[in-house]
A and B are shown apart, each in its own frame.
Chain A
């Protein structure tokens, strides 16, 4: 869980953000922009895959986002990635930022994926739509430390081919031997030669799935229960399933109350939850 006030701003004010420089800003779909970022003023960004930040623009506000890069990249280059989908006032201000501009940031926040528990095991990541962004931190981490993990399977579903994110990564993963990558779209266009349908159809292509596999699920709220039902068919225990949840998070530090599910704060106790720990919590899935 959180380490206390290890990332607070001036005066110990947990709500005062730090400054981040936009290194690259690439519009990757009609609504999404992929940012490569670097901390300013000598600040460090030490994070775990699956952790989040509150990214913002002064005068507009902040939004919670998961790291889209692996800490292994940040160690090498000093940069990290976020993807912003334009859906409202704050995200509109964020996507207008250009290289050289300043973004504000508080974090890392939240717990992240329990990486150590995944090591030495088969891993399956099921990502729907923009759910590929936070899971990419783990995907890239696994690929950078491939020997630490056994079989690695990745499912990615998007609404249309045009809405696929990280197309350069997808090209690499399609041909890669170190990841068994499977993809599907809800609605094809004339150029799409792949599978069409919902993400759960990809489970039909699995001959087997080791019940010991550690599974990560991240996608639109509707997706979770259907994917979990498929995993039950392969006898994957609830302890091995990790869900990465989205909620409204204003403060990111377990105070403002918006993300609360029962006695859990998604921003602080999550956003990653072991399914066995929240399956009986109403309002969670």
Chain B
């Protein structure tokens, strides 16, 4: 595929021309932080963001998503994919999207996610301002960067847009972008090659060693110690780009004969996550917070590795920043276990 050059002052008109085609979801400022939101005014675009509060998975897998509508006992599917551009996705989040793509496709393909995913065009962008808790430079390194359609790299006097799929080519075909010169392409390659070096936090252990050691520590008492300040709030789950658990609930409409079934994000840290109703009460298969805390780390470092080809963590650092008690940072927890 091809590389194009966009001068610094041309970025907004580039985004504007995308907005003329379809809605563009991109990083914008929200208070002192950033979120992915639909661009209303192109001036809001902030490709210099560090990280977003919620990962971009919400575009395909919204926090609350209608699954089906029913009326008079008849149910119909709520699939209603809307084409959009997802602009400015950092490489760690692209890796996470490639994981959720696989997880929602495997075995039973889930069209509630995949239909939204298929109509989206993803334009990644390099990290200009690393988030202080991020450790993407030292995790999921074996995972190929795939799933995006194009990638924007900031160079000294503008951007290089590397288009990697036909979907990406089709989107920008009529924008009249200039080809990137050999020097510009080479500068962009250099920027991306040293991106991981600029990542603030390092996880100094190989994925295989982490997986083995964490898995073998299942019965260790260390989990009680590590989780003793856990509020079971599930913030670490909710901000995680690779968490994809959900609950399903029904709600009635005002007509009392109609309503909706929806799913909403759920998290394995919440106390009722594994609870079932039984005669005369309930049975909870992970009753203690240490069990739930351990489950999350097992799932991130060990359980899904065979399926994903890498740990289910891309080093975004969002959980570290979101945890009130600051006990969710994978770097701290993994280090503590590796050194135990």
Q: Could you list which residues of chain A lie within 8 angstroms of chain B, going by C-beta atoms?
A: 1-2, 4-5, 8-17, 19, 31, 58-62, 85, 87-88, 91, 102, 104, 129-130, 220-221, 246-248, 250-251, 253-258, 260-263, 268, 282-283
- Complex: A60 Cα to B260 Cα, angstroms: 10
Which chain B residues border A261 with CB–CB below 8 Å? 285
Q: With A247-B274, A256-B266, A257-B266 known to touch, is A263 a contact of B306 (CB < 8 Å)?
A: yes
Given B73, B245, B298, B304, which contacts A102 in the complex, CB threshold below 8 Å? B73
Closest to B286 in A: A283
B273→A258 contact, CB < 8 A: yes
Closest to B299 in A: A260
A2→B248 contact, CB < 8 A: no
Min Cβ gap A267→B in Å is 10
- Complex: A8 Cα to B108 Cα, angstroms: 9
Q: With A221-B283, A251-B248, A255-B244 known to touch, is A58 a contact of B107 (CB < 8 Å)?
A: no
* CB-defined A-B contacts under 8 Å, sample of 7: A13-B112, A58-B250, A130-B279, A221-B285, A255-B108, A256-B266, A268-B108
Instruction: State which residues 281-322 of B face A: CB under 8 Å.
Output: 283, 285-286, 291, 295, 298-299, 302-304, 306-307
- Complex: A13 Cα to B77 Cα, angstroms: 7
A246→B276 contact, CB < 8 A: yes
A250→B247 contact, CB < 8 A: yes
Closest to A14 in B: B108
- Complex: A211 Cα to B277 Cα, angstroms: 36
Min Cβ gap A146→B in Å is 33
Given A58, A254, A262, which contacts B73 in the complex, CB threshold below 8 Å? A58
Given B76, B247, B250, B276, which contacts A247 in the complex, CB threshold below 8 Å? B276
Q: Is B261 an interface residue (CB 8 A)?
A: yes
Given contacts A14-B109, A283-B286, 9 further A-B contacts (CB under 8 A): A15-B112, A16-B67, A16-B68, A61-B249, A62-B248, A91-B277, A254-B108, A255-B103, A257-B245
B276→A248 contact, CB < 8 A: yes
Which chain A residues border B73 with CB–CB below 8 Å? 19, 58, 102
- Complex: A85 Cα to B276 Cα, angstroms: 13
- Complex: A96 Cα to B313 Cα, angstroms: 45
- Complex: A256 Cα to B302 Cα, angstroms: 18
Which chain B residues border A104 with CB–CB below 8 Å? 75
- Complex: A87 Cα to B283 Cα, angstroms: 12
| Complex A-B, nearest 9 residue pairs according to Cβ-Cβ distance, in ascending order | A257-B245, A253-B108, A87-B277, A88-B277, A58-B70, A13-B77, A11-B77, A263-B303, A248-B276
Min Cβ gap A170→B in Å is 20
Chain B 243-284 interface 0/1 with A at a Cβ cutoff of 8 Å (1 = within): 011111110100000010101001010000111111100010
A247→B285 contact, CB < 8 A: yes
- Complex: A4 Cα to B245 Cα, angstroms: 20
- Complex: A103 Cα to B222 Cα, angstroms: 47
Min Cβ gap A261→B in Å is 8
Most buried by B among A88, A130, A250: A250
Given B247, B249, B279, B299, which contacts A87 in the complex, CB threshold below 8 Å? B279
Which chain B residues border A282 with CB–CB below 8 Å? 218-219
Q: With A16-B77, A268-B107 known to touch, is A250 a contact of B303 (CB < 8 Å)?
A: no
